[in-house]
Structure 1
């Protein structure tokens, strides 16, 4: 009988985090540590003709300065094909190569004199103190022959790439014929700005060599991927590199890819023979660990008079870097969320003088859902149909893109339960008709959906006569509560007190597990933990029989170990990811957001006063941590809707708002009551628990729900984000 799974439980690592016992990468202080800081390019395009490092080297405490003129020789710093194949730079090259037979050379900091974006690292200083390193960076004076640059895609004039297969989907999809005489039609353009990850913990790497091996304390979402990447860059066997990411203070995708600084710290430490801490500043985070790019999306809808879609066209214009790979795949949910006979989803990518974009919590689905869900709301009001009813009429009973049944789909239940809890009216009041004194009140809603993947993973159990039962895997916990749900799973599957379980994560010397991201960790790791429990039970039973112990109900694991003369017993279990799932099924999670806003037009002030979100994410392992994850995603959506926007300087093209003073994110005072409802219906086709990942599904659709509510309050449409006071007043 299950006692832990499905039970609300606080995080087992919570006390360590709030008391400071949890050690993050930058908390490491090995003896003799050097501090490394980067110098960023002041221009967006050009060539370094000279770089003077003399004054920097003269600063007391400075040990070395590396530039493109000496890094390859001193550090053996060069981007081999093997290294680039493991880095984020290679993620989408196959897709872009479909229309770009000769892709540009990969970006590699300190790899040459060419500058391809403002903020590019052009020098790195290593010094005995943080202050000396910072002072030296201010004394490095590059001479640059500047070239022209542009950072924003221009649909009317740019030359665009048209990538093929990317992020597990075709990027250019056309099916069916557009209706000649639709009952209703809509064509609008939606825009979202550049977003910065800004996790609480900036990225940091501390590299410590011991003989021929190196330990790298790193803030990464993937310890195994970082190990392989660093080893390839150093040209050493992977088993000589250990990556420790025991605690990671948020990632959101910025720590999902491999970045050059992770290997660079190890190269510098090897060259100088001392530990090196390479810490990214907040400004570095904007250019050296990715971002979500701006998007421009043209949406066309055609329907019959009853609101049933006859055609949907979603055209996205997005940038990538001059030497990059990743672009925002906005049309992912459009491919399959609503059933329509005519569908066109295309992506057009322009190379620009920007740092490389990278996955950002729910990449593609988040900006794409803003455009589509706002357009559907506009169609509903055009037809005089309740926006919720319009979505019900276009519910896809099976995956219309892949022509497969859903493994499980309770979206209609999400609509019903969310609407009931919110009090969504059957007859939505007309815009500008709901008031609370001088404040306008508005209701809005939107659909969310996100894939439910799983990858192979291995979990090891260590049982000893002394101490707790230890659970080990290289998977990272980036704030999701993975330690807690692993302990709960093992407690139930092995019949062991959860209080007597210790979970070790984020170390590449532990059994292999996938990088945390794309909402796959729960579905990947829990089956592996269950198999490890099965193996451990079988081993104990065999040992008991060999030692003539009584029946299982009358013996303890410790008694078996003692009888067998063993101090410790280990067992490993490996999951197969999606290999055992049915190939005629599509695995997704679904949900619906309902939002109330209050707007004071005189001040241009919009406050979200309450949010109700109903989600179908399979079986909920821990309602406490699951609710926390959804609320976190909703808060991301609130920031997207109302605050967050990074911009480029109009002529120099450096990122403006590359710090938390100028880049606004929601704080506690901005957050309304958030009611999270889980359908909690297991998806048995996915794994034995029926559990799906849910780290990202709270984000898509939320910004659209806010924008739709703002329309219901004011009668004005907001198609460009964020919805700032200036935009409210200007309309």
Structure 2
């Protein structure tokens, strides 16, 4: 990749923490050397609903090395929820082992603490539970529609009059699209090492949001927040599963208090299906009306999902449908079915990833009915105003993404009539989809420590409690400090993931880069300003950092900074935009298909590091492809456990599944978004990828695939759409 400059932002430099990772020196949650540590293993329920009527711990307790078996009978008393169906949040309390009630298959019902990991695992299997099953357990989505309710959270939305909009349309598309339960599965298992000392908690935990984790622990145990320290120096992926504090962490803290020693809990891969969140199943009904000239008249997006029976989470699938296109009559509604399955929670681009599959598939269906090019149809309905918020976009280059992507991809070679582009037994199709993702920017605090070294160089250390979940936070923060302190990146260190450091919003929701880097910028600017003010040096005078320290006759200087959205920010809708292009080859006899090429074009503000940004898009495209190719968590219909509970049966894409990929970043600096012009990119990469692949499959075969994942069996069994002539 071409670089912009030798220092600062814009350069495609290697990750500054890369050498630590490849040499094994980067400490993840379960790798901190804690003395006198013991191990614990969670025990999972084997019924979907009911009560524990008896527990026999005697056999486990006889084993050498076993220190404690904890169940609801002897667990520490924790703060519990004031009401049923509490909305889950990133700082929610996480009570566990507080009663004999079971709400879903796999819910934690016990914890064994032992001297070694192996002893804990073996002993956990020896604890015997007797249950009284409740036959009213709700585990079948299709048979539970009558139980659906409208959540009381103000998420339903409408403008105009849908019926009027549909009556004005010349063409109407009305279809239902289904996305299954998916699981996050970061490479690093969820883990924590927890200890107590003098009434204070120390936790090395794999968490995306450090400050919220301290709030969750302190609130659950009813202790002051200042008495909780959480360290998440390196996080091996999260995808949303580590946004909130899960029950294994609370059990570790509880066990550490009860046995008086540090306790490590590592969630197994199987438990990551039942105990660390998931993307819920969504049934999305789309109704779109348009004039013959392609102008949209109405767009309705109705989502039916599920939540648990004791907590509420709703994936905002209709978010994109409210703002992406210029449509006067618009309606977005939600219903939830309480089910005896664990509480779902945010997974990469929650709402956008799933909602865009429905919206962009329906848009493609409308374009086909109108006999319009799908790109021309989208461009015709472009808007520079967010009609949902009734505010202008701070910047919106969606049309440019579509046009530049079309040129890069070779869209002109696409044949509109499905099934007409062939090569031997292969049917070749081209697909496109538009993408958008909200670009939040949140208040962030940061500290910079400047040290004048003996060789005359200044070394800067940036501190904040933000985390790096594999996205490159360490690197872009170092580049930001380099930019604003005017020193080489090599002279910058970044320290993250410690609740003792200045508070940030943590990693998630595509706000990390903008928030962290502007926080670091503010601290660096304050440092330079402070040094100049101390010696009455004009702020516009260019003085090297080392010289400033010398003139102040000091070798060390600290400054803090805070960055937050401006008033102007609140007057605009701030989004990143993109376009996905895909070429798919389908074997006409077997239904096997290959993703041959993908082109992604994005407008996401200033690209701080093209190399790490490229990695984020590649990761997003891979997860988007996974939605289509194979990812699906299946619920056993009789008992409520997951049939798919390992990588042997929950399949994710591998290298051979993917394509030749081109990524294009449009030059953009949105200074309304923030002073540095940064927008989010981590979730833009997955948004609407699935639709581009499904649309390409239609172009190849004439078959509309509305249920994910798209398997060869489904393709073979599907009928060609009405009006398509396949020879």
TM-score by length of structure 2 reads 0.93
1:572 aligns with 2:573: no
2:469 & 2:156 partners in 1: Cα distance? 30
**Hey, what does 2:723 align to over in structure 1?**
none
Query: Number of matched residues?
Result: 706
| Aligned positions of 1:630-645 closer than 5 A | 630-645=617-632
Give the SS at the match of 2:40.
strand
**Hey, what does 2:148 align to over in structure 1?**
160
Q: Which residue, 325, 330, 341 being the options, matches 1:338?
A: 325
**How much has 1:278 moved relative to structure 2?**
1.0
Q: Which residue, 71, 80, 92 being the options, matches 1:67?
A: 71
**Hey, what does 2:80 align to over in structure 1?**
79
- Conserved in 2, the CA contact under 8 Å of 1:248 and 1:478? yes
Structure-2 change in CA distance of 1:132 and 1:40 (3 Å):
same
**CA displacement, residues 302-347 of structure 1 (integer Å, 9 cap, x when unaligned):** 1111221111111110000001121211100001111212212110
1:173 aligns with 2:158: yes
**Hey, what does 1:42 align to over in structure 2?**
46
| Aligned positions of 1:91-130 closer than 5 A | 108-130=95-117
1:664 aligns with 2:651: yes
| Aligned positions of 1:415-564 closer than 5 A | 415-425=402-412, 428-466=415-453, 468-544=459-535, 557-558=545-546, 560-561=548-549, 564=552
**How much has 1:595 moved relative to structure 2?**
0.3
- Conserved in 2, the CA contact under 8 Å of 1:640 and 1:722? yes
Q: Which residue, 669, 680, 692 being the options, matches 1:693?
A: 680
Give the SS at the match of 1:468.
strand
1:386 aligns with 2:367: no
**How much has 1:89 moved relative to structure 2?**
8.1
1:537 & 1:719 partners in 2: Cα distance? 56
| Aligned positions of 1:73-472 closer than 5 A | 75-79=76-80, 88=89, 108-148=95-135, 149-154=137-142, 157-165=145-153, 170-173=155-158, 175-176=160-161, 177-180=164-167, 182-425=169-412, 428-466=415-453, 468-472=459-463
1:12 & 1:24 partners in 2: Cα distance? 17
Moved more, 172-181 or 39-48: 172-181
**CA displacement, residues 216-255 of structure 1 (integer Å, 9 cap, x when unaligned):** 0000001111112212223322222211000000011100
1:490 & 1:107 partners in 2: Cα distance? 37
2:160 & 2:53 partners in 1: Cα distance? 52
- Conserved in 1, the CA contact under 8 Å of 2:194 and 2:253? yes
1:407 & 1:181 partners in 2: Cα distance? 31
1:496 & 1:626 partners in 2: Cα distance? 23
Q: Which residue, 53, 57, 63 being the options, matches 2:57?
A: 53
2:699 & 2:536 partners in 1: Cα distance? 71
**How much has 1:621 moved relative to structure 2?**
1.2
Give the SS at the match of 2:240.
coil
- Conserved in 2, the CA contact under 8 Å of 1:641 and 1:722? yes
**Hey, what does 1:5 align to over in structure 2?**
9
- Conserved in 2, the CA contact under 8 Å of 1:86 and 1:229? no
1:720 aligns with 2:707: yes
**Hey, what does 2:37 align to over in structure 1?**
33
1:107 & 1:565 partners in 2: Cα distance? 51
**CA displacement, residues 393-446 of structure 1 (integer Å, 9 cap, x when unaligned):** 111231111111111001010011000000112763311111122111110111
1:421 & 1:282 partners in 2: Cα distance? 40
**CA displacement, residues 198-224 of structure 1 (integer Å, 9 cap, x when unaligned):** 001011010133333332000000111
Structure-2 change in CA distance of 1:12 and 1:437 (3 Å):
same
- Conserved in 2, the CA contact under 8 Å of 1:386 and 1:427? no
- Conserved in 1, the CA contact under 8 Å of 2:15 and 2:475? yes
1:439 & 1:187 partners in 2: Cα distance? 30
**Hey, what does 2:717 align to over in structure 1?**
730
- Conserved in 2, the CA contact under 8 Å of 1:171 and 1:329? no
**CA displacement, residues 525-577 of structure 1 (integer Å, 9 cap, x when unaligned):** 2222111111111222244459xx9x975x6544554565544211111012x
- Conserved in 1, the CA contact under 8 Å of 2:41 and 2:265? yes
Structure-2 change in CA distance of 1:86 and 1:477 (3 Å):
farther
**Hey, what does 1:95 align to over in structure 2?**
none
**How much has 1:676 moved relative to structure 2?**
0.8
**How much has 1:515 moved relative to structure 2?**
2.1
1:381 & 1:557 partners in 2: Cα distance? 61
- Specify every segment of 5 or more residues in structure 1 that has no aligned partner in the other structure, as ranges: 92-105
**CA displacement, residues 14-49 of structure 1 (integer Å, 9 cap, x when unaligned):** 121122110100112412211111111111111111
- Conserved in 2, the CA contact under 8 Å of 1:464 and 1:558? no
**How much has 1:452 moved relative to structure 2?**
1.0
Q: Which residue, 601, 611, 619 being the options, matches 2:588?
A: 601
Structure-2 change in CA distance of 1:26 and 1:299 (3 Å):
same
Structure-2 change in CA distance of 1:58 and 1:579 (3 Å):
farther
2:126 & 2:250 partners in 1: Cα distance? 25
**How much has 1:181 moved relative to structure 2?**
5.1
2:235 & 2:120 partners in 1: Cα distance? 25
**How much has 1:87 moved relative to structure 2?**
6.3
1:562 & 1:305 partners in 2: Cα distance? 72
- Conserved in 2, the CA contact under 8 Å of 1:318 and 1:327? yes
Moved more, 428-437 or 506-515: 428-437
1:163 & 1:172 partners in 2: Cα distance? 12
**Hey, what does 1:619 align to over in structure 2?**
606
Give the SS at the match of 1:541.
helix
| Aligned positions of 1:672-687 closer than 5 A | 672-687=659-674
1:207 & 1:415 partners in 2: Cα distance? 50
**How much has 1:646 moved relative to structure 2?**
0.4
- Conserved in 2, the CA contact under 8 Å of 1:107 and 1:323? no
